[in-house]
Chains A and B, each alone.
Chain A
Amino acid sequence: MNDTALLELHGVTKTFGAVAALVNAELVLKAGSIHAVIGENGAGKSTLVKIIGGLYRRDAGTFLLDGESVDFHNTREAKAAGIAVIYQEPTLFPDLSVAENLFVGRQPYTRFGALDRAKMRRETRELTQRLGVPIDPDREARGLSIADQQVVEIAKSISVGAKVIVMDEPTAALSGIEVERLMGIARQLRGEGKGLIFISHRFDEVFALCDVITVMRDGSYVATNATTGTTEDEIIHQMVGRSVDNLYPKQEALIGEPVLEVERLTSAGVFQDVSFTVRSGEIVCLAGLVGAGRSEIARAVFGVDPYDSGSVRMSGIDVPRTSPAAAMRLGIGFVPEDRRKQGLAMTAGIQTNITLAIRHKLARFGFIIAPLEEPSARTWAARLQVKMYALDTEAQMLSGGNQQKVVLGKWLATKPKLLIVDEPTRGIDVGTKAEVHRLLSELAGTGVALLMISSELPEVMGMADRVLVVREGRITAELPRATATPQNVMYAATHAPEVAA
């Protein structure tokens, strides 16, 4: 029985418009095993999970469950077929009790047509005890820890007869003891003959728990390894292994005086004791895993988010807390992570978007009219070669890459001394990506200091003069360009600092 594949994916492809999220996914999950899927951010793991869970439909390829081809139209069909997905943040109803959450949509009734609460309680108690984590069936879901909520979700999936249980980064928000407990549950489920797919960024967990490791990169399948026959180094190599040196036209730039000085910046529970400097002409990259606190640090520097202690200085002048307007006056520009929600007014025209951050500078005697805005909008759209029809074309009509160019233009128009770019090439096509890289490089050449956040290692390697690795809210490594290899960065991002040192 253990040799039969429970779930098989071959050549599975999924594209969103021009973006190929998944090119050629392969996965063979055996019953009674735990299968890790790992890869960098954007490698296609989440898309894969969503296809398995019925949230997306594949465009091509085969998807076999118990040897039969399946094509789920929605999550309900996937659940009915025996697939359960446990997300990092569980989705329980906070106002219902644990037992009610377990039986939501399939409540047992007594002979008299009333809810059979006794049965719900009894079964809930049995299920959670079987998982080794007894939870009071009458507790409200609201007060449960994330770990306990995951247990409830797992119990729910078992009680509906799931054969395949997918855990999408389940340990990201758990403490050490909770991780141990979850791993115990996973091993028990494996013993019961279930197939588990385990997605995690943490190598120690993957190696401790999983039988098989499948590596993905850029939406494609790379390799499947038996855990016993591979090493951490080999996996890292598979994750990042490609020539990354010549793809990025990094220009030599004269590195000058410090522009941004951040000292002991701390925001309780988000990041701690963060100190770094960015000099003029220098590109400094904040690398690390998603959720490590990189964006939060950048947002605090720019003043969108508050911080508890520490200081931010621009060319020696203190940048006031929580005032993007003041940060902009001191020469900081910020290209945010989410261009649709934070970078652009999607239903407004290109001109409105490009001139929004310089509206005070463009005003004459306190007044601003369209003819004052037009030259700036025209110049910056043209410099960045934004493909559009007219200056009043709505931003939402442009492709992702052109939208990102508009956001870049909006901030370049402010003539920043320091430009913070958060994931500047996420979700844009390869051609535009190279253009953005060339632009950032040119910008550094003109003496602008750049602080870049990127989850793509090749981009970090290709662009950075210096790499700061952030792990769990702290800077755990500072690597100059010469010594920053993908392996080093990935190691520092996934290991506790004492190990890294």
Chain B
Amino acid sequence: MRADTVTITTNAVGSAAAQYRRHSHPLWRRMLLRTETAIVLAIILLIIFAITTVPYFAQPYTYLTMILNSAPILLMLLPVTLIIITGDIDLSVGSVVGFSSAIFGLSFHAGVPLPLAAGVAVVGGGLVGLLNGVLVTVVGLPSLAVTIGTLALFRGIAVGLLGTTAITGFPSEVTQFIGAPLFVGAPVPMVTVAIIVVAIGFAVLLHLTPFGRGVFAIGLSSETAAFSGVRVNRTRLILFVLSGLVASATGVYYTLQYSNAIGTNGLGFELQVVTAIVLGGVSIWGGRGSILGALAGGVLIATLNKTLQLAGIGSDTISIVTGATLIFSVVVAGIAGFISRRRRSKASVIAAGVEKHRAIPNPKSVPSNH
């Protein structure tokens, strides 16, 4: 009797399983209606526009400096993207750059060999990331408050350590190597390789590992994640440590690139990092986003800045344009989400769609009978 029931169920399963579609929308729609696609298109259009109308934009040197200038942001945004996907935020990364720069500079000044000094700075960054993580996960404070606090704290330490002095005199063969093109005449600097390698690392971690699935689950619903065996606090702690490590490594790179260790290195970088990530379609509420999108957001801002700069537009205007772009992208995303919800609620229940952006929770009342 029981065996019968089971067999019947299993037979039905085979045909029913084949019925489910893999996706609710065709490939072209899923590809086109993505923030990543929109941003990449925007970058291409902007570059074409700049090449044809802005003088000197088409020079290899332009790309070289553009990448050199944006490299710190592109590196730092990688771990911060994961943090934002879990629903946390790390605003202390700019200060960690300054902190690491100070430690690196002082160690080097005290006669520590350069690689060891870099190692000390990176380990220091890991420790300050650990501090952030412990305050958020063990003490249970909101990450926004914690990292605003440590933003001031780490900057204060960095400036305090170095005072008004700047440490210079890093070996010129190293600093020149850092800023040099990949090969003679190439429009991309050495650091591009580092960005690509680290970006692939984080993209794999986020998109292709069980750990990354956990990161998304925490952002979608940390309670559901915990009930599904995701080690929520451990994951969040690891991400803050990774953020500290990458930001401090960026600090070492930044110091060498400009051959200058001062306490104000990396001032304000955290805002550029968050701007790039949000522009790249990562939901500030967590649960949604990709490394590709965040990187594209960073590249778009860098290209925009460079174009405006070459066109002779002042830095205050540049920041107005950057801010307006961000607001515009968020508003467009909001409207797109609203339209897709409207369309979906009109469509039949079964024709469910992928929503590009997180829906505002449906305030539909649920019967709660004890």
Contacts and interface: CB of A to CB of B under 8 A. Distances in A.
A328 B225 CA distance: 13
A42 B369 CA distance: 5
B213 interface: yes
Given A251-B2, A334-B227, A367 B209 contact: yes
Could you say which of B9, B224, B229 has the most chain A C-beta atoms within 10 Å of its C-beta? B229
A359 B214 contact: yes
Contact of B350 (A251, A385, A387, A392): A387
A227 to B, nearest CB: 23
B229 to A, nearest CB: 4
B332 to A, nearest CB: 19
A390 B210 contact: no
Interface string B83-120: 00000000000000000000000000000000000000
B358 A394 contact: no
B204 A347 contact: no
Contacts of B13: 379, 382-383
Interface string A335-350: 0100011111111110
Interface in B1-45: 2, 5-6, 9-10, 12-14, 16-24
A177 B117 CA distance: 70
Nearest to B10: A383
Interface residues of A, number: 66
Interface in A20-53: 21, 41-47
Contacts, number: 158
A368 B215 CA distance: 14
Interface in A264-279: none
Nearest to B361: A346
Given A347-B358, A394-B354, A382 B17 contact: yes
Interface in A350-385: 352, 355-357, 359-360, 362-363, 366-369, 374, 378-379, 381-383, 385
B224 A344 contact: yes
A290 B369 CA distance: 11
Interface of A: 16, 19, 21, 41-47, 56, 251, 290, 304, 323-325, 327-328, 334, 336, 340-349, 352, 355-357, 359-360, 362-363, 366-369, 374, 378-379, 381-383, 385, 387-394, 396-397, 399, 410, 427, 442, 445, 455
Interface of B: 2, 5-6, 9-10, 12-14, 16-24, 204, 208-210, 213-214, 216-217, 220-221, 223-231, 287, 344, 349-352, 354-355, 358-359, 362, 365-370
Given A356-B230, A379-B17, A392-B354, 15 more contacts: A47-B367, A324-B226, A325-B229, A341-B223, A341-B224, A342-B221, A345-B225, A347-B355, A348-B287, A356-B225, A359-B213, A367-B204, A383-B13, A388-B20, A389-B21
